[in-house]
Amino acid sequence: MKTLISNIKQLLLTDESPQRFVAGADMAQLSTLNDAYLIIDDDKITDYGKMSELSEANFDKTIDASDSLVMPAFCDPHTHIVFPETREIEYIDKIKGLSYEEIAKRGGGILNSARKIIEKSEDDLYESAMQRLNEIASYGTGAVEIKSGYGLTTEGELKMLRVIKRLKEDSPLTIKANFLGAHAVPPEYKQNQGKYVDLIINEMIPAVAKENLADYIDVFCDRGFFTVEETERILEAGAKYELVPKIHANELDYSGGIQTGVKHNALSVDHLEYTGDEEIAVLKDSATMPTLLPGASFFLELIYAPARKMIIAGLPIAMASDFNPGSSPSGNMQFILSLGSIKYRLLPEESINAITHNAAYAMGVENELGTITRGKKANLIITKNIPNYEFLPYYYGANKVKQTIIEGKTIVNNEKNH
Ligand code: NIG
Ligand code: FE
């Protein structure tokens, strides 16, 4: 099956031999091609170029994109998309002034979700998560990392990861699974947190590895959750099973999480609201992607990660939605793109690189996704009729995506019924 996308007003992120990620000043570079074509053969991008140089003529299907920009579909490298129920009632407490940590201390937050998960069957969790996957695809996401972490028992965590495995098999989106047994301490271990860490190490990790259910391992390494020492023990246990860390760090304090992540060769350290000079120095020249979650800062009214400072220091940054019922109940990456520009003051080019090229790296799929490159998977967005790419972060809140193509197939067409 050969598809031609013709007359593309502007093709974004063309890159013949992409770096693994873009960092520092390079984040403001975005290569583009005006009046372009792109050819998809089955699931791959096989060619692109200027319309005037198109030589082939035989295609099974042609999509005219004269009013549209075409770009790689977004990668969302940090989500908790499998969850039992939304938590809008708890959110009222937040409106009334309670902090995320205060809600957590009262047994709300993650523990609230962990209680609910017991009542839900794997089928229930699968159905609701699949709906959310369809929703994020309609906003242009083509790849997503999904964490466990609302089970907090061996059975509960395995249940979540089995659901993620089914989603991987059935959804067209590219999915990576992250084991987050160390998301919160269950109440029965409150007086003996070390015992819960032992359970993660001795029971959960071997069970997860035995069923081959996770690509990555995560720990919420932060004030009031898991310490640096506990995080290290867990990451070392994961490393025995080749589970690469992608961890929550420095959301609530200078927790040492960033240093711990880099020390253990984390693929990414995520959140990073509390990042100072020391943390930046440690990240510099490491292969760990700083992944920022502006949706959580926005929703919880936390401070924002010092994105500009990080870029000036030469670091790369990726952004993710953190889609979850407590701190970021939205998986709309176009909104994340806008928050990147509105709140971090990222240039449109920097914001776009952070949710495509660098986000692909942060979930370990940079060889197949994130740029328009011959041989990469055809995970693409065709936009509605918009004037230019600067419009994407600027015109916030609206869905600017017309079509989402995943592995060569149009899975979303937002204008079909118009
Ligand atoms: O990334 N920070 C820790 N975990 C999630 C929140 C999960 C929840 O509240 O349900 C986060 O923000
Ligand atoms: Fe998270």
User: Which CATH number is 278's domain given?
Assistant: 3.20.20.140
One domain, residues 204 and 313? yes
What DSSP element (H or E) covers 113? helix 110-119
Helix (H, G, I), strand (E, B) or coil at 300: helix
- Among protein residues, the one with the nearest Cα to ligand 1's atom 9 is 326
Helix (H, G, I), strand (E, B) or coil at 255: coil
One domain, residues 295 and 390? no
Is 1:408 a contact under the CB 8 Å cutoff?
A: yes
pLDDT level of residue 418 (50, 70, 90 thresholds): very low
Distance between Cα 80 and ligand 1 center (Å): 8
Q: Tell me how far apart the alpha carbons of residues 255 and 276 are, in angstroms, rounded to a whole number.
A: 11
- Note the pLDDT tens digit of each residue in 160-201: 999 999 999 999 999 999 999 999 999 999 999 999 999 999
Helix/strand/coil percentages in the chain, nearest 5: 35, 25, 40
One domain, residues 275 and 343? yes
One domain, residues 100 and 66? no
Number of Cβ within a 10 Å radius of residue 363: 29
Q: Tell me how far apart the alpha carbons of residues 217 and 22 are, in angstroms, rounded to a whole number.
A: 24
One domain, residues 264 and 286? yes
Domain total for the chain?
2
One domain, residues 96 and 218? yes
Is 313:70 a contact under the CB 8 Å cutoff?
A: no
Q: What is the largest CA-CA distance in the chain?
A: 71
Residue 324 CB less than 6 A away from ligand 1: yes
One domain, residues 16 and 107? no
What DSSP element (H or E) covers 45? strand 44-50
One domain, residues 257 and 352? yes
Ligand 1 nearest atom to the CA of residue 251, by list position? 2
Q: Is the pLDDT of residue 316 over 90?
A: yes
Distance between Cα 257 and ligand 2 center (Å): 14
Instruction: Find the radius of gyration of the CA atoms of the chain.
Output: 21
Residue 322 CB less than 6 A away from ligand 1: yes
Q: Which residue has the tokens 């310490």?
A: 227
One domain, residues 275 and 176? yes
Distance between Cα 328 and ligand 2 center (Å): 9
CATH number of the CATH domain containing 408: 2.30.40.10
Q: Any idea which of 52-56, 71-75, 292-296 has the lowest mean pLDDT?
A: 52-56
Q: Tell me how far apart the alpha carbons of residues 45 and 412 are, in angstroms, rounded to a whole number.
A: 18
Q: Which residue has the tokens 């506990």?
A: 230
Residue 58: exposed, middle, or buried by beta-carbon count in 10 A (0-12, 13-18, 19+)? exposed
Ligand 1 nearest atom to the CA of residue 270, by list position? 1
| Residue numbers of the domain that contains 199 | 74-363
Verdict on whether the full-model pTM lies above 0.95: yes
